[in-house]
Amino acid sequence: MPNVCVASLALASDRKEARHRTTKAETREAHIWRATACLWAGPMNFRGWVAFVKFPPASLLLLTSGSPRRLFVHATGPETSTCVVNMAEEAKKQAAYTAVDNHVQNNQVVGIGSGSTIVYAVDRLAERVRQEKLNIICVPTSFQARQLILKHGLMLSDLDRHPELDVAIDGADEVDADLTLIKGGGGCLTQEKIVAGCARHFVVIADYRKDSKVMGEQWKKGVPIEVVPMAHVPVSRKIVQLFGGEVNLRMGVSKAGPVVTDNSNFILDWKFERVHSWKDVHQAIKMIPGVVETGLFVGMAERAYFGMEDGRVQVREASVH
């Protein structure tokens, strides 16, 4: 009888140890697949690499012995989405930092654009002002830009006091091969265009997702058009008559009713069906009564900085006609 008890205890111990080994193996495998998903998302995600190399070489066999279908499932999960987002944010940062370093000098008046990428530009600008004791005056394009300037303790001004700017730095929703831009996803297109037009140099910062050969390749929300509220219906009808496509009044997300710009106007989003001569389109839409401005920036940007997936910054200059 004691021998039976000893045998039972030994069997239970073996089962417990086996379960422990299985759990450790499953945990280790899960971490490896998660790290692999990050690596497949792009070379900029070093956290995935660190998690990957922590395991002993024997664990690498899991990568070759596992099912390809399993890798596909893991590579399209939430972990990969997070990796891609982090990669895009790092790309924005690299583009913004490079542009600020290349174009901002002491005793300049700088136009500050709007959007998610400009946050990194203001971060870098404030860092340089502190470290290099620069004298920089900032002119904002929006409420958001104004708040960023004040948050960092930078010198705030406006076009009344400084109507001529040395450089303006702004983001874009899409940039084509000719450096024609679609802007206004954040609703600040009119002020952004005014500030850009007052600058001797206008440079654009963006991540790799905003780079297109032709308009509409990446940005699918259409061209923003700022209109006087009472004119939004006739303007919408006229745009469709002239150029086809679909025009929608932009509605608020956290409010009932349409988006209202800093200028108390409405925003139309025109989803075009084909590639146009964008200079002609811009001029024609501007002639429609009730149109304040379009989100087409044609022949304005002289240089664009794209943060790439591999950490490089790609620079494109406007062609000289």
- Catalytic residue numbers? 192
User: Which residues 6+ apart lie within 8 Å of 222 measured at CB?
Assistant: 245, 246, 247, 248, 269, 270, 271, 272
Contact 225, 291 (CB under 8 A): yes
CA-CA distance, 319 to 321, in Å (whole number)?
Answer: 6
Q: Which residue bears the tokens 């995600």?
A: 45
Neighbours of 194 (CB within 10 A): 15
CA-CA distance, 218 to 213, in Å (whole number)?
Answer: 9
CB-facing half-sphere around the CA of 41: CA atoms within 13 A: 27
CA-CA distance, 200 to 103, in Å (whole number)?
Answer: 11
